[in-house]
Structure 1
Amino acid sequence: MRSTLTVGRLPFLGFSLLAIFLLLVALGAAQRAAASESPTSLGLTGLINMPSGRMAEDGMLYMGFSRSAPYGAAYGVMQALPGLQVSGRYTRISGVQGFQNNTDYGSYKDKAFGFKLRLLPENAFGLGWMPEVSVGAEDIHGTALFRSEFIAATKRVDLGVLGNVDATVGYGRKRIDGPYAGLRYRHKSLPSWALVAEYDRTAYNRDPFAASTGLSNRKPGRLGVGLEYTWGALTLQATRNQDQYGFNLSLALPLQGTRSFVPNINEAGPFAGGAWASAAPRPTAAQWETDRQFRQNLLVALHQEGLRNVRVAWHNGVMSLSVSSNRYRYASRGVGRAARIAMAYAPFETQTLEITWETRGVAGMTWTFFDVPTLQRYFMGTATRSELAHAVTLSYANPNGRFEASRRNDLNAMLDELAFQQSAGTNFDWGLARVQFDTHDQTSFTLAPSFSSILNDPSGIFKYDLGLTAALDVNLGQGLWFEGAVRASVLETISDISQQSNSTLPHVRSDAPLYRQASRYKLDRLLLNQLWHPSQRVYTRASFGLYEEMFGGFGAQALYLSGGRWAADVSVDILRQRNYKGTGFLSYRTHQIMASGHYRLPWVDGLTATVRAGRFLAGDLGARFELTRTFKSGLEVGVWYTHTNGNDITSPGSPGNPYQDKGVFVRIPLGTLLTNDSGASASFSLSPWNRDVGRMVNSPADLYQMAEKGWLENARDGDGLRGISDIPPEDTP
């Protein structure tokens, strides 16, 4: 099993450490989960061990740990869609050796995945007696040691002053053997407490290692009881079942219920003393043209606010700005800051304010405020959000400019440099163990911890590499970027892995331990990226250099944005595998050709489907399917499945069932976890095995991700004005 995590494009922290961190964040930030939904000992919401028919709130994420001898299980459950719940679980079986002749691994461990799908909502068809009905399965992949399938129905009954009760009946097969039932009762005066009882149909006597663990004496069909207490985001359930005491501790994180888990209380206004308005007099058009001090003061204020690569022009009543920044989670928030500052220095004759948001030196989206008085009234609190929405248009940036002012620039390099010096020079940013310095043209240096891990190797359950990564991004102008990164391992155990890969495919990924064994210091990335914006909604890129730790070469990508729900891109990369030390190359040469289509599905908020088809790193041909959900909190969760002709038949694959690459990935905007805004993000991916089939090179600068996170996601969020005035209600769902 492999797991990696990055902040922006830098390695940062592993899956396990991130999970612990999110638990701590949620303790103080999460809202209380719905009272009648709690995870079972296996993960999916339900009673004690038996799943119910009820779903959780959309976007609810549960993380927890349950213990009932001989099992201890760490799990995660997500309400990925309103009618779909998915779970992942890692179970330890006490008293059973994982590998004979290998004591390093410890007790036997098993990973499992499950799902629950709603068939009918409660009170469907207007029938008050109709229960919520769902079907599901546990342990649907891999060894399937604890496989079960079920259908369950749950109905809430209001008892008036006595509270309410959720009643569940269900039927299962395999590990859940036959009919089951249960109740969860909550008194009205004690909403944090609940009594839980179930008729447990778990066939413990059929579990693996039942004889050696004493489970062979347990029969299905016993009564289990539990006492449950909820405190904020935490729920603790103490249980008694099959003559065994147990507990289940879970934490609920509402991904769809909030825009930010930590309020950005350290954000201040862009004017002197943190004010949100300026008392300085505005110039006339003639003064703007003749006195360069107004332009310089505007530029100083924009730089102080963290806005970079600034272009400003005024012509015939139109002020046009082009700005870029890594400081904002939402482009519209940066646009709002730029608009506030611009209206403090713009000539009185200004009738239209046009602000174009750039990412990596290319223009993305343009906000055109054609009714400047309404914009000013909104900033003063005398105009409504609806009035502002009717005074602005959002459009894809036109590289040729919409107005004459769009094609001009009233600044020059000397003025820009002087203004930047007046604004205190290099900007310093830090948070969540990440430090960054950047200049007025977004040249930046970043230092961050790095973490990668391999789970479930026979030599040990958890192998890790903890180090530091230093990265330098230099803006060479006109969309040309130089990027370099070096990484040093401080503490690592991945190099202890002695078992060589058994893959019969070219070892494009499965030799990861050899790269750790070769050197503690690596040149991780060294390349040039050139980005172009040839026409509206069309972007292209060319790259050359060391893409990542394992591959280098050259390639190109082209992206087309439809202007609606879909986008398409194609990429070609000619590659050579780097040697284990990172100082040269191995003999393996390959090329990756990939055509991708992306479609934002209309049925569920924030749901995008992606299909990538082509030639992968190991030379196999096939397609990769991705489904990604971006919640209102900004957290993005996705799954992928790749099917190719790679014919990976060595374990964990087999001649009758070749292994296909699959896994989950998560991206978390750091601005939701900090007291100040930030455009940085943390991301990680997790898959069952580190194999070579269906694998792709790390893109040096993926154009669709640049567009999606840079401006598309923001522009498609409601009216595209999220956080534009830093008024707290603007950030509510």
Structure 2
Amino acid sequence: MLDAINTGSDTQDLTSHQQHLGSGQGDSGGVGLMQTPTARMAPLGEFSFSYHQTPPYRRYSISLQPADWFEFTFRYTEIENRLYGAAIAGDRAYLDKGLDAKLRLWEESRYLPEVALGMRDAGGTTLFGAEYLVASKRWYDLDFSLGLGWGYLGTRSDMESPLSVLDSRFKTRPGNAGGDQGGEFAFSQLFRGPVAAFAGIEYQTPWQPLVLQLEYEGNDYSNEPSAEPLEQDSPVNIGARYHVSDNLTLHAGWERGNTLMTGITLSANLASLHQAKRDAPPLSIAPAPAPAATPSSRAQQKPLTEGLDSSTTADETNWRATSEQLLANAGIRVHRLVVSGDTLVVEGEPTKYRSLAHTEGRANRVLHNNAPDAITTFRYRWQSHGLSLRDDVHSRDAFVSAAQSIQAEPDYYYGIYTTPAKGVSRGEVMSTPETQRFHFNVSPGINQNLGGPDGYLYQLLVRANGKYLTDANGWFSGTVGWTVADNFDKYDYIADSDLPRVRTYIGDYLDESSLGVTNLQYTRTKRLSDNWFGMGYGGVLEMMYAGVGSEVMYRPFNSDWALGADLNYVRQRDFDQQFGLRDYSTWTGHLSAYVQTDFEDVLAKVSVGRYLAKDIGTTIDLSREFASGARMGAWATFTDAGDSFGEGSFDKGVYISLPLDAFFTTHSRDHLTLSWQPLTRDGGARLARRYSLYEMTEDRHLDRYWEDRDKVWE
């Protein structure tokens, strides 16, 4: 066991307390010691929020691990002894925004260390701009790191940049590389100027929650963005991390030889989110929906056919009861049940389970225990908002055989096939359940603005959501929001901009009324042809805008790409969020390309078009969905606003989307999205449309279906 630990990352046989080594967030966010980074990465899918205080700096960071080799950090640094200025924000402390990235170049092996290349504050004002190359090696309960730092990490200037042998420009580091307004990527600074060495050690103590740290940093604090110089009595920092749980870590340290550091980290692994479920319906709902057999029990399982009347005919089947069981047991809202020869077609929408394989497995049991013996095939025609997306076809006999014997599973899996849904199901309609036309729910909500001189602004609210179906393809939707608590009365500062105020009125909207209509629209969909889909809508489209619009999308069946276009005419709403309108109006719309890449399961979305402030540009959105259903992503918008854009120069942000069934004991297909962006800007502002054809047609893509095929037995 000791020898296995000594080999480092080439073994997974590590106890839980040794896994704390190299897993902590540094002062600036991202995996590291305190002031210095390491080559270590957080587990795939890790999301961390950290707060660290090392006077005069308070740092708030969000760190994402979308790939096991890539770390992305979004950070705010509050400088306590430096002000924005009386004309901007009175006596409020200065707040700096920054984006960090770290790439692992290769993994640790028995003899070689793990090596990573990173950048700090690359997309902000570059007040803390730095680059580094670092190596880390584990030995028993110790983790060693050694690196070279440029910029903020290398102000001690131990040597010239090693890259100066390639070009003399690497000897000096230019200033103000983030642009006059900040926010531009500082490419001209990268790996330029003198460098300094840094090093560190982490020690996992015998007491499992505690990790001790020692580091030697390359910053001599001679060039700080604080209002006054900082004294450094020692380049050696000591610290400790106490892991209260897998999700909560406390930090403390003594830095610069004279300053106390404290911090806290909240983390969650989005890739492994899971919650045991207790909402499986009782067996009395479906008379004999025998549970799928496990490998150990399948040989002893009673046949699924037990108790069925072999002489049952289609006319004698209680189709209405079958539809009710499909909803309760399998989570299918049935639109029609059609018998076509020896095939039973179920037309409907999945409402409960995220995995369609899970839904179909439960539905197979319901249908087998209700359908007449003449039925040999079950066909599921999946629909969304009236749009037919695809057909999944299962052999009844193959399913029964696989449920009784694990040896029959391969034949059953190979027999399942999917096709694009075409036309209307032909045959005898056995059931058209009465549509539940009205749907209603209450949910929490949050609006936030952070990164400006006003500090962190928030609005906590309760949303009442309603939906009334006029038919399968049309519906009214509405949302009323009631503010529970907020501090938007502090929203005073508006960044310099020559653009129309299309988003920076946010404080007026939230301060004017505690009860507002944030959505009230009619939406209609239509399948235009085999691969073309359309949608039109009109009404109160979001908190700030009302209008009309439409969207079309070309999405081939089971394709990794899709193309869409939306066009909208909108007018700004009154601040009270009722039904009055202001004078400002505009056309806005985008051409969008969606590509589900084979690279780390990344979904790339690129949109080109006209934004609410009449500027023209491009939004790039990169995200990754994990098997848990959680998604993490980041986006950036660049427009032709130029100097008129104001502070930040371009818009950007990060977000996570969480499946609700990861937090509750009941299954759900719904998600909660949380996003963070540095400022509320007018440049690059998009209309917050409630519905998207790409999301509606998501089940046209089959990758997750085959990956989840074992869920057919759950």
Structure 2 residue 561 is the aligned partner of structure 1 residue 566: yes
Q: Which residue number corresponds to residue 665 of structure 1?
A: 655
Check 1:279–1:648 CA distance in 2 against 1; reply closer, same or farther (3 A cut): farther
Question: Would you say the 8 A contact 1:149–1:173 is kept in 2?
Answer: yes
Question: Would you say the 8 A contact 1:389–1:719 is kept in 2?
Answer: no
Q: Which residue number corresponds to residue 177 of structure 2?
A: none
Q: How does 1:260-659 map onto structure 2 within 5 Å?
A: 260-268=273-281, 271-272=284-285, 276-277=289-290, 281-282=307-308, 287-291=312-316, 294-305=318-329, 306-369=331-394, 371-380=395-404, 382=406, 386-401=410-425, 404-405=426-427, 408-412=428-432, 416-417=433-434, 440-441=435-436, 443-458=438-453, 460-499=454-493, 502-562=496-556, 563-581=558-576, 582-604=578-600, 606-649=601-644, 651-652=646-647, 659=649
Hey, what's the Cα distance between the residues in 1 that align with 2:587 and 2:68? 41
Q: Compute the displacement of 1:374 (Å).
A: 2.5
Question: Would you say the 8 A contact 2:99–2:120 is kept in 1?
Answer: yes
The residue identity in structure 1 corresponding to 2:225 is: P
The residue identity in structure 2 corresponding to 1:49 is: Q
Q: Compute the displacement of 1:42 (Å).
A: 1.3
Check 1:688–1:231 CA distance in 2 against 1; reply closer, same or farther (3 A cut): closer
Question: Would you say the 8 A contact 2:451–2:678 is kept in 1?
Answer: no
Check 1:223–1:103 CA distance in 2 against 1; reply closer, same or farther (3 A cut): same
Among candidates 239, 248, 260, match of residue 226 of structure 1? 239
Other structure's SS at 1:450 match: strand
Check 1:663–1:275 CA distance in 2 against 1; reply closer, same or farther (3 A cut): farther
Check 1:511–1:722 CA distance in 2 against 1; reply closer, same or farther (3 A cut): farther
Structure 2 residue 145 is the aligned partner of structure 1 residue 168: yes
Q: How does 1:150-299 map onto structure 2 within 5 Å?
A: 150-157=132-139, 163-177=140-154, 178-186=196-204, 192-209=209-226, 211=228, 216-218=230-232, 222-233=235-246, 234-241=248-255, 242-256=257-271, 258=272, 260-268=273-281, 271-272=284-285, 276-277=289-290, 281-282=307-308, 287-291=312-316, 294-299=318-323
Other structure's SS at 1:217 match: coil
Check 1:152–1:269 CA distance in 2 against 1; reply closer, same or farther (3 A cut): farther
Q: Compute the displacement of 1:682 (Å).
A: 0.7
Check 1:510–1:107 CA distance in 2 against 1; reply closer, same or farther (3 A cut): closer
Hey, what's the Cα distance between the residues in 1 that align with 2:98 and 2:478? 39
The residue identity in structure 1 corresponding to 2:444 is: P
Hey, what's the Cα distance between the residues in 1 that align with 2:418 and 2:615? 42
Hey, what's the Cα distance between the residues in 2 that align with 1:544 and 1:41? 48
Among candidates 96, 117, 131, match of residue 149 of structure 1? 131
Structure 2 residue 78 is the aligned partner of structure 1 residue 92: yes
5+ residue gaps, structure 1? 1-29, 158-162, 418-439, 654-658, 728-733
Which deviates the most, 148-157 or 482-491?
Answer: 482-491
Other structure's SS at 2:507 match: helix
Structure 2 residue 54 is the aligned partner of structure 1 residue 59: no
Q: Which residue number corresponds to residue 34 of structure 2?
A: 48
Aligned-pair Cα RMSD in Å: 3.0
Check 1:236–1:468 CA distance in 2 against 1; reply closer, same or farther (3 A cut): closer
Hey, what's the Cα distance between the residues in 1 that align with 2:371 and 2:609? 51
The residue identity in structure 2 corresponding to 1:556 is: S
Q: Compute the displacement of 1:579 (Å).
A: 2.5
Question: Would you say the 8 A contact 2:21–2:143 is kept in 1?
Answer: no
Check 1:83–1:706 CA distance in 2 against 1; reply closer, same or farther (3 A cut): same
Hey, what's the Cα distance between the residues in 2 that align with 1:526 and 1:31? 53
Check 1:516–1:37 CA distance in 2 against 1; reply closer, same or farther (3 A cut): closer
Which deviates the most, 666-675 or 683-692?
Answer: 683-692
Hey, what's the Cα distance between the residues in 2 that align with 1:723 and 1:474? 36
Q: Compute the displacement of 1:457 (Å).
A: 4.4
5+ residue gaps, structure 2? 1-15, 155-195, 291-303
- Structure with the larger RCO, 1 or 2 (CA within 8 Å, 6+ apart): 1
Check 1:541–1:231 CA distance in 2 against 1; reply closer, same or farther (3 A cut): same
Hey, what's the Cα distance between the residues in 1 that align with 2:210 and 2:653? 37
Q: Compute the displacement of 1:474 (Å).
A: 1.1
Other structure's SS at 1:682 match: strand
Q: Which residue number corresponds to residue 431 of structure 1?
A: none
Question: Would you say the 8 A contact 1:453–1:494 is kept in 2?
Answer: no
Question: Would you say the 8 A contact 2:496–2:647 is kept in 1?
Answer: no
After superposition, the C-alpha distances for 1:9-47 in whole angstroms (9 at most, x for unaligned) are: xxxxxxxxxxxxxxxxxxxxx999664322211112122
Hey, what's the Cα distance between the residues in 2 that align with 1:363 and 1:448? 29
Question: Would you say the 8 A contact 1:571–1:595 is kept in 2?
Answer: yes
Aligned length: 640
Among candidates 35, 41, 64, match of residue 78 of structure 1? 64
After superposition, the C-alpha distances for 1:46-85 in whole angstroms (9 at most, x for unaligned) are: 2222101222332222333333333332322222222211
Question: Would you say the 8 A contact 2:136–2:146 is kept in 1?
Answer: yes
After superposition, the C-alpha distances for 1:230-271 in whole angstroms (9 at most, x for unaligned) are: 454144444333233434433442222x2x332223434564
Check 1:593–1:172 CA distance in 2 against 1; reply closer, same or farther (3 A cut): same
After superposition, the C-alpha distances for 1:478-507 in whole angstroms (9 at most, x for unaligned) are: 311111222233433324534456432222
Structure 2 residue 121 is the aligned partner of structure 1 residue 139: yes
Other structure's SS at 1:513 match: helix
Hey, what's the Cα distance between the residues in 2 that align with 1:362 and 1:337? 23
Check 1:135–1:217 CA distance in 2 against 1; reply closer, same or farther (3 A cut): same
Q: Compute the displacement of 1:671 (Å).
A: 0.8
Q: Which residue number corresponds to residue 111 of structure 1?
A: 97
Other structure's SS at 1:373 match: helix
Q: Which residue number corresponds to residue 22 of structure 2?
A: 36
Q: Compute the displacement of 1:566 (Å).
A: 0.8
Q: Compute the displacement of 1:200 (Å).
A: 1.8
Q: Which residue number corresponds to residue 3 of structure 2?
A: none
Question: Would you say the 8 A contact 2:567–2:589 is kept in 1?
Answer: yes
The residue identity in structure 1 corresponding to 2:97 is: K
Identity across the alignment (%):
23
The residue identity in structure 1 corresponding to 2:567 is: V
The residue identity in structure 2 corresponding to 1:217 is: E
Question: Would you say the 8 A contact 2:636–2:652 is kept in 1?
Answer: yes
Question: Would you say the 8 A contact 1:627–1:638 is kept in 2?
Answer: yes
Question: Would you say the 8 A contact 2:634–2:653 is kept in 1?
Answer: yes
Q: Compute the displacement of 1:513 (Å).
A: 1.8
Q: Compute the displacement of 1:97 (Å).
A: 5.0
Other structure's SS at 2:711 match: coil
TM-score normalised according to structure 1 size: 0.80
Check 1:109–1:661 CA distance in 2 against 1; reply closer, same or farther (3 A cut): closer
Q: Which residue number corresponds to residue 672 of structure 2?
A: 682
Q: Compute the displacement of 1:222 (Å).
A: 1.9
Q: Compute the displacement of 1:722 (Å).
A: 5.0
Which deviates the most, 88-97 or 564-573?
Answer: 88-97
After superposition, the C-alpha distances for 1:131-155 in whole angstroms (9 at most, x for unaligned) are: 2221112122333222221111112
